[in-house]
Amino acid sequence: MKKVGILQSNYIPWKGYFDIINMVDEFILYDDMQYTRRDWRNRNKIMTKNGPIWLTIPVDVKGKYYQKINETKVLDKHWIDEHKKALQCNYGKAPFFREYKDIIFEVYDKCQGEDYLSHVNYLFLKEVCKILGINTRITWSSDYNLADGKTERLVQLVKDAGGDYYLSGPAAKAYIDQKLFEEENIKLGWMDYSGYPEYPQIGREFEHGISILDLIFMVGGGEEALEYLKKGRKQDD
């Protein structure tokens, strides 16, 4: 059985995003979908002593209401140093910051040569997977033929990838037509984001929905980080 996951790219996403990647054999970046403003595509949260704050990549959206994620350009490169400074300021004393700082900051430096948001997100996605020890194949939806219709397109992507199991995020229950998966003999599974264990954070109240960098800087990478994900647990079928 080949399991496939499909999600739009996010900026250094939270642990649940990497859980899905870790639970499938192929992960498809769904970046020829319409870019959504004030979403996770170009921003995410990190923790401070006073609670979470946003790190946001400025993107060119003025008058471009229907542009796709993979068409969205980064406005300037000033954000790179700003984000590095925010991480240094808030995680400088975190247990594993010194161990992973250079690795993460090197990715930021590579972003100087990237003009598109999707490419920036991809750089971080690949490096974080390496830190976590996740070896799942990552592809792009543009690598495949796209069908018309929300569910039809997902079904076609899974088929083209040679998959017979689709692991979906729970929010998709609002629109997915499960019968279309059944007709193609594709098993449909739903990710369960509940039950994550807490780990030490620098904030006053624990927050699950922040960038995976928080987990890496606080507990480390590899098996240490995966202990706080759902590795080895069965997802909700």
Phi/psi of residue 216, nearest 5 degrees? -65, -45
Residue 107: both structure tokens together: 């990715």
Determine contact, residues 5/137, Cβ cutoff 8 Å. Answer: no
CB-CB contact of 118 with 72 (8 Å): yes
Domain ranges of the chain: 3-226
| Chain segment 82-138, per-residue pLDDT in tens | 999 999 999 999 999 999 999 999 999 999 999 999 999 999 999 999 999 999 999
Tell me the pLDDT tens digit for each residue of 1-52.
Answer: 999 999 999 999 999 999 999 999 999 999 999 999 989 999 999 999 999 9
Q: What is the pLDDT of residues 218-234, one digit of tens each?
A: 999 999 999 999 864 44
Separation between Cα atoms, residue 15 and residue 176, nearest integer Å:
24
The tokens of 28 are what? 């498809």
Rounded to the nearest integer, the mean pLDDT of the chain is 94
